[in-house]
Amino acid sequence: MLREQLAHTTYSIAQMTIGLGSVGTAVSGRLLRWCLRLQPGHAQARAWLTYLHAVRALHEGRADEAVELLTEAVSQMPDNSAARAYLGIAYALTGACEEAIYNLEHVLRDNSALSRQGDLWAALVWSYLRTGRVPKARDACCRSVEHRVRTPRLQLLTAMTIGVQTDALPGEAIGQLLQDDPSATPMILEYAQYLASRHKNGLAQQLIESLPCCGWGAAYRVVAQSALNGSDLPTAIWATRRFRAVADDDVSEAILLSEISLRRQCTDEALAQARKAVARDEGSAEAHEQLGKVLLLRGDWAGAVAEMIEALHVGPASALAAGLAALASISAGDFTTARGLFRVQRKGDGLGVACAHVAHCRILQHHRQHTEALKLATWALQEIEQLPAHLRVGPLVERLAQELKFALANLNCPQESDLLHQLHRRLAALASYPTGPV
């Protein structure tokens, strides 16, 4: 009984401090955790603690995690408008615009106290723009003015909305607003890519070229690469042409053209462009990686490994370079070198992550870390299964599958026999997957 009373008192104090800024939030978190120690079944304390963890994740840029936590918090506290508002903002950040609109409109309709929050309005306008509902975005801008909300981000979104409505973006005004809110640049590039994907290339160009001219080349390259990642070849081609027009960078242009040729399954042209990139700058790790990637997809494993090793020497290199070099070291029995390649955190696309996971799985299996190796094998297989058609070439898939089969055959995990059997079946099924031409 005394523990329950203490828990109730602790929870009440936490409620009073939760809105007192960052210090109050930190104190509330400690009090809520103490409340749960006293009374583990205190549902409201657990819900509020989940909410606080979600808000922290959102502020730290972990929007996907925030969505998961806020969804749980809203399900436990359906009348908590703040949780629903943050959920709408988190949805907008993850690209789930329909869900963002639903939650944000719900909050604005039912809680006038939150209608002065600029982030809320900005997320709503952005979500309407990203779903092509420009009149709705304009209406949201007008409603924010009625509530006397004015922030640099909202002003920027309003200028973009009016510009899209009138087919004439105010480039100078947008440029000035970006000086006040430079963190909005990724949003500008994302919306420019969206406009180009809807065949509004003129507006997309106006939007990108509202940035300082020194950044146009980098902006077009980001849009081209993002479009390639999204399998939007027409937008990637347009952005690459614009990159050529505004940037003096033959190496980056050749790398983009090589990647576009791979997506078109024109491997001869992809190889020629990759070789051109290396010839223009032998000190470019990215150029060596692109050449290695093309050789890999053409079935030249030794040539690909040589280029990836060169990329690692001139650095910095990605997960693909490390993964292939590690697999080559493993084939030579040199697990020490292979392991050393993963001491640095490396980024990569699905193919790079798959190769790195396969190599890491082999390393862990060699060192008898069977549970961790099994986990890496599961992740690697998932990445391989999700490879796009132009990367799913027979020899490459077969090589990665062989490496995984060897690792799984030497794992000692009797308690995971069902999972091992399932992984073997999935590996066997890879042989029937449609593959692109070599």
Residue type, 348: G
Place of tokens 């972990």: 62
What are the angstrom distances between the C-alpha of 69 and each of 114, 117, 188, 333?
21, 21, 28, 45
pLDDT score of 51: 82
Instruction: Average the pLDDT over 227-251 and give the result.
Output: 95
Place of tokens 């790195």: 356
Between 34 and 394, where is the model more confident?
Answer: 394
pTM for the predicted model, two decimal places: 0.84
Q: What digits encode the pLDDT tens for the residues 255-269? A: 999 999 999 999 999
Nearest to 114 by CA among 85, 75, 157: 85
Q: What is the dihedral of CA 217, 219, 225, 227, to 10 degrees?
A: -120
Q: Which two tokens stand for residue 392?
A: 């799913």
Between 156 and 77, where is the model more confident?
Answer: 156
Between 222 and 177, where is the model more confident?
Answer: 222
Q: How far apart are CA 293 and CA 288, in angstroms?
A: 9
pLDDT score of 361: 94
User: 82 Cβ partners below 8 Å, 6+ apart?
Assistant: 51, 114
Confidence of residue 421 (pLDDT cuts 50, 70, 90): confident
Q: How far apart are CA 236 and CA 232, in angstroms?
A: 6
At residue 247, the 3 state secondary structure works out as: coil
| pLDDT greater than 90 at residue 216 | yes
pLDDT score of 226: 95
Confidence of residue 410 (pLDDT cuts 50, 70, 90): confident
Mean pLDDT check: name the lowest of 172-186, 208-222, 230-244.
Answer: 172-186
End-to-end Cα separation, the chain, in angstroms: 73
Q: Which two tokens stand for residue 294?
A: 């093309």
- Per-residue b or e along 30-55, where b marks 16 or more CB atoms closer than 10 Å to that residue's CB: ebbebbbebbeebeebbbbbbbbbbb
pLDDT score of 422: 87
Q: How far apart are CA 434 and CA 427, in angstroms?
A: 14
DSSP state of 131: T
What are the angstrom distances between the C-alpha of 336 and each of 330, 368, 376?
9, 14, 18
In the chain, the largest separation of any two C-alpha atoms, in whole Å, equals: 78
Confidence of residue 19 (pLDDT cuts 50, 70, 90): low
Place of tokens 């009149």: 135
Indicate if the alpha-carbon torsion angle 362, 367, 368, 373 is positive or negative.
negative
Instruction: Average the pLDDT over 413-430 and give the result.
Output: 84
Residue type, 26: A
Q: Which two tokens stand for residue 285?
A: 């790790």
pLDDT score of 344: 85
Q: What digits encode the pLDDT tens for the residues 340-357? A: 999 888 888 999 999 999
| pLDDT greater than 60 at residue 436 | no
pLDDT score of 144: 92
Q: In Å, how far from its chain's centre is CA 397?
A: 24
Q: Which of 271-280, 371-380, 405-414 has the highest mean pLDDT?
A: 271-280
Between 420 and 99, where is the model more confident?
Answer: 99
Task: Indicate the burial class of 270 (C-beta count within 10 angstroms; 0-12, 13-18, 19 or more).
Answer: buried
Contact predicate 58/86, CB 8 Å: yes
What are the angstrom distances between the C-alpha of 388 and each of 107, 127, 317, 425?
39, 28, 22, 21
Contact predicate 263/233, CB 8 Å: yes
In degrees and rounded to multiples of 5, residue 68 shows phi and psi of -60, -45
Q: What digits encode the pLDDT tens for the residues 39-59? A: 676 677 777 788 888 888 888
Confidence of residue 127 (pLDDT cuts 50, 70, 90): very high
DSSP state of 432: G
The proportion of the chain whose per-residue pLDDT surpasses 90, expressed as a percent, equals: 59
User: 46 Cβ partners below 8 Å, 6+ apart?
Assistant: 32, 36, 76
Q: Which two tokens stand for residue 56?
A: 């922290």
| pLDDT greater than 80 at residue 273 | yes
The proportion of the chain whose per-residue pLDDT surpasses 70, expressed as a percent, equals: 90
In degrees and rounded to multiples of 5, residue 436 shows phi and psi of -80, 170
In degrees and rounded to multiples of 5, residue 434 shows phi and psi of -65, 135
Instruction: Average the pLDDT over 122-126 and give the result.
Output: 96
Q: What digits encode the pLDDT tens for the residues 138-187? A: 999 999 998 898 899 999 999 999 999 888 888 888 988 888 888 899 99
Instruction: Average the pLDDT over 396-400 and give the result.
Output: 90
Residue type, 97: C
**Average pLDDT for the chain:** 88
Q: What digits encode the pLDDT tens for the residues 276-317? A: 999 999 999 999 999 999 999 999 999 999 999 999 999 899
| pLDDT greater than 60 at residue 438 | no
In degrees and rounded to multiples of 5, residue 393 shows phi and psi of -90, 145
Q: How far apart are CA 176 and CA 158, in angstroms?
A: 14
Count of other CB atoms within 10 angstroms of residue 56: 17
pLDDT score of 393: 85
pLDDT score of 351: 94
Task: Indicate the burial class of 307 (C-beta count within 10 angstroms; 0-12, 13-18, 19 or more).
Answer: buried
Nearest to 149 by CA among 117, 101, 112: 117
Pairs from 226-229 (Cβ < 8 Å, separation ≥ 24): 226/189, 226/190, 226/193, 227/193, 227/196, 227/197, 228/256, 228/259, 228/260, 228/263, 229/349
| pLDDT greater than 90 at residue 416 | no
